[in-house]
Amino acid sequence: MPIIGLTGNFGMGKSTVLQLFNKLGAFTFNADTFVHNILENPRIIKRISKVLGREILTGSAKNISINKKRMADIIFTDPYKRQAVESIIHPEVLKLFKLTAADLQRREPTAIIIFEVPLLFEVGYARHFHKTIVVYCTRETAITRLTRKGFSRSEIRNRMRAQMPVSEKRKHADYLIDNNNGIRKTALQVRNIFHELSTPACS
């Protein structure tokens, strides 16, 4: 059973591609979902608040949580704090993924597992996957999509700066998906890759 890492930069369509793989029968997971669960752990909340300050906390003493918007505003403008927070979160994400994948392998030994990770190459996750897929589009296309979703120019700029250039990611990928030309052409590429991953040679 192949375990695949899917990535691409901000606004390039990773989540759309992940949904297309899911519709074809792949078991799909999103690192952001794991992060959301991790950020509810009191131990993690305490560690992150030591890095970013109590200003990121919200709620009562008995039900304290992290204000994700405040956290994002800080880490995407301060690379040192971002790295410190990532060093707390990413090992926990990897641990959760390994547990999830191992459980699924026991229950569905022929399953194709695809895990969407925005920082797949940046944090060294690629070595944990059999194959990697990079979704890409032009910077202009990504900015247009993100602007429609309500992101400001400064938010887009800061988040893009935090990622490896997609041109570099493409050099490391086993598969590429061009997401410049509409959902139908993207879906065709996804089907072709899924078919190849389904062959015994990729298991």
For residue 9, which of 121, 165, 140 has the smallest C-alpha distance? 165
142 vs 156: CA distance, rounded Å: 9
Name the residue with higher pLDDT: 1 or 71: 71
Q: At residue 110, does pLDDT exceed 80?
A: yes
In the prediction, which pLDDT does 62 show?
Answer: 78
Q: Which two tokens stand for residue 78?
A: 């301060």
As a whole number, the mean pLDDT across the chain is 93
Percent of all residues in the chain with a pLDDT value above 90, rounded to a whole number:
89
With a CB cutoff of 8 Å and minimum separation 6, the contacts of 68 are: 39
Q: What percent of the chain has pLDDT over 70?
A: 98
Instruction: Characterize the bridge pairing of strands 113-116 and 3-8.
Output: parallel
pLDDT the model gives residue 199 = 83
Kindly state the average pLDDT of the residues 2-27: 96
pLDDT of residue 201: 61
Instruction: Provide the CB-side half-sphere exposure for 177 (13 A, CA).
Output: 31
pLDDT at position 203 is 56
CATH topology of domain 3-202: Rossmann fold (3.40.50)
The residues spanned by each domain of the chain are 3-202
CB 24 within 8 Å of CB 190: yes
Sign of the torsion angle spanned by Cα atoms 102, 176, 186, 195: negative
DSSP 143-159: HHHHHHTT--HHHHHHH
- pLDDT at residue 169 in the model: 97
- Around Cβ 28, how many Cβ atoms within 10 Å? 21
* SS3 state of residue 68: helix
Q: Each residue of 183-203: pLDDT tens digit?
A: 999 999 999 999 999 986 655
Dump pLDDT digits (tens) for 54-108: 999 998 777 899 999 999 999 999 999 999 999 999 999 999 999 999 999 899 9
Contacts of 125 (CB under 8 A, 6+ apart): 5, 90, 94, 117, 119
